[in-house]
Each structure stands twice: as structure tokens, then as C-alpha cells.
Amino acid sequence: MDCLVIKGGTPLKGEVRISGAKNAALPLMAATLLTKEECVLRNLPNLSDVRFMAQILESLGAEVQMNRGTLRVRAKKIEGYGDYDLIRKMRGSICILGPLMSRLNKAKVSMPGGCVIGARPIDLHLKGMRDLGATIRVEAGYVHAKAATLTGGETFLGGRCGPTVLGTANVMMAAALAKGTTVIHSAACEPEIADLAAFLNAMGAKISGAGSPTVTIHGVRRLRGADHRVIPDRIETATYALAGAVTGGGVTLRNCNPAHLSAVLDKMGEAGVRFDTGRTTLRVRPAKQLRSVDITTMPHAGFPTDVQAQMMVLMLKSPGISIITERIFESRFMHVNELARMGADISIEGPSAIVKGGHPLSGADVMASDLRASAALILAGMAAKGTTRVNRVYHIDRGYENIDGKLRALGADISREPGQ
């Protein structure tokens, strides 16, 4: 396994282009199964998860072509089950369930995998399918679903930690070709859901309210092919913005959408980070004086759990005490022990991390536990004195396109080497 070797202490400077959103790309790719006609997705990030999903589509019988960020899919004839070894590798693969049920009225999908950041059951996905008339059973690691006909109805997708994003996507796709009208209550409000609805509507679906807690889908008889550009990745945007802040540099992010990051930018501003926003640009300038702030992760439009670890690094640079509370995933503080190896003073109290900032970090050998923890350790390495080795960076390649190349272009001293 590769590792990233980082020599810290260099302020980042320059411009970086933000890639398409991974969390939007995977449901969009699954949605191409809803029609026999060709669909084109542009601005796709070059990530291992995207490549895995392309392989899953092929295993289902779709014709797939990928070239420099553009994906062409034609699913003339598809099978109702997916490749177990592919699907188990990432959680996002569960979003093929809705399209298969919508197109074939049956599906056999293996239980999904992904980062180990806490329990992420798919019970709400299955509840949504049942509310549309599907019969569900889970057996030998597979979800078996079937229905004589999917029929629109009312479904509630609120969970213990808020609405389910992929569950909302699954029900939207299943309902697009169902008979009658479906209303999703407590739907996820993330921009990726609105992006999926825009693609489905371009295919001929009738969806309203996407991006709000109530989504209404009027089923149609068929969907056509469509050409769609994936939205910029808001988590990658936040990560590079925070990378500039923790290194004391000035970076400009292009091809981004600052409107998708209102909660993150609000907390960055409260912490003393200076920035300017445009419609598709974000410029971060060095802070005159960093300040500690308290953060609680919440469903959109609250502070995103996917930025919690990176924001923790900024708080380590900020004098004072910050309380970071994780309300989405109970195991999302696995990066804390690795940050402690670099000199961080952090204690865990239930769902909260007490961060004592303002103390220097020093380079160390650290181990990435998940995708966003990997990003946090890279940011910490760039802010630390000395050399940091981040091991098991296959996690980072799942969600950040060419992160070491982009950081080098901003002046970071970072290289990729074979792991030990």
C-alpha cells in the first residue's frame, strides 16, 4: 500500500481546480440504469469509487465508456443482481437498488461496504422500498427485493441521526417509474440530492422539492437518455480551503460552489480565517489571528460530518479550547489517536472531542483509518514541523482526485512512496 510523505511548514499558495463530487457521481451513475437510452455524465472525478461503480454497471449488463472525466452508459438490457466482490467494497454501491427495482421490479444486491466510521444500516432504504410495495428479505449477505408493480405512496426517511442521503436517492430513483405519486418526508437536503433530481428530471422524471425535507415524485412511464454535468465536490472544496488556512497560506479554489458550504465557511470565518467568495470561486487568505470555535456536525445544511476531521486540524492551530461534537457517526474520531502521535492534545468525552489548540505539531508516522481521516492527517502533516508519513492512503484515493499532485502544485512538499 502506498503512503504519503509530507515535509511540513510550507504555506500553500496558488490555485487549484475542484473535481466533480464523488457523493453526487455514484447515485448519478446508478440512475443511468433507469433507461435503455445513452446517458452522458461529465465532470466525473477520477477516483477508485467511480471506477468501481463503472465496473458494477458493466457487471449488470450496461455498456460503459469512460474518457477523461466523461462517462457514457447505455443500459439496453440489464440483470437484476450485482457483483458481490465489487459492491461490498463501498457503501455507495447500494444506490443500484432503487434503479433495479424501478426498471426490473426485482433486485439482488449484496450488503455494501465502505469506511469503518460507525453503524450505517440500510434499514431506511429497505423501508422506502417496502412503502412502494416491494417485498424484502435479507439472506446470506444479499438483499432480495421484488414487486409485482411499484406503486407510489408516502414514506418517512428520518433516522436516529437524521435523514438518509443514499436512502433518499434510492427511493427517488425507484419512484421515478412507479405508478402514481410518491412523497418522501424527512428527505435528505444535501446538494447531491438536488443534483440527482436535476439529472432525473432531464431524463423526463417529474420530481419537485429536492433539496428540501419533502420531495414529491410523480411516476412516469419511461425515461430517456440525458447529458449532465456533475456538481463540484463541496467536501474537497472545504478540505483545500482548510489546507490553506492551517498552513497560513493563500489559495484560490476554482470550479467550486461556495453556496454549498455555508456552515463550513461560517465556522471558518468565526475562527478568524479570511476569505472571498464568487459564484464558482473561493479565495482563502491567511488569518491574522486564529480563534477556537465549537462545532457540532448535523445533516445538511448544518456542519457536515465529512469536514469534521479537517476542521479539527484547524482547531489544533487555534489557541484555546474547542469542543467538536459528532452527531452523525459514532466512530468518527478514529483520527484522534493518530493526531495525538503528532503532539495533539485531544480528549474524548462521549460524542465530543475536547481540542486544546495552539500547541505545535511534529511530524510522525500515522495510519489513516478512513477517507476523511486521511485528509485530516495530510493537513496536519503540512502544518507540522518535520516529516509525516501517512500510511494506508488507499482511503484518500477513494474520495480525492490526485490529492498529492494538487497539493504539490500549491507548493506542498509531498510525495507518494510504496508503503512498508
d(CA 211, CA 187): 8
Task: Give the chain's residues under pLDDT 70.
Answer: 80, 82-84, 88-89, 91, 112-120, 331, 420
Complete domains list, the chain, with CATH: 2-19+232-418 (3.65.10.10), 22-227 (3.65.10.10)
Query: Which of 39, 95, 115, 161 is the catalytic position?
Result: 115
Phi then psi for residue 333, to 5 deg, are -115, 25
The pLDDT, as a whole number, for residue 158 is 93
The pLDDT, as a whole number, for residue 47 is 94
242: closest CA among 150, 299, 300, 308? 308
Question: What is the secondary structure of 8-47 as a DSSP string?
Answer: --PPPEEEEEPPBPHHHHHHHHHHGGG-SSEEEEES----
- Three-state DSSP at 89 gives coil
Reported as type and span, the H/E element at residue 169 is helix 165-176
For the segment 49-98, what is each residue's pLDDT rounded down to a tens digit? Answer: 899 999 999 999 999 999 999 999 999 999 867 666 777 667 678 899 99
CB atoms within 10 A of CB 76: 11
The pLDDT, as a whole number, for residue 375 is 95
Q: Does 115 participate in catalysis according to the annotation? A: yes
The pLDDT, as a whole number, for residue 118 is 37
The pLDDT, as a whole number, for residue 161 is 79
d(CA 74, CA 93): 18
Phi then psi for residue 351, to 5 deg, are -85, 10
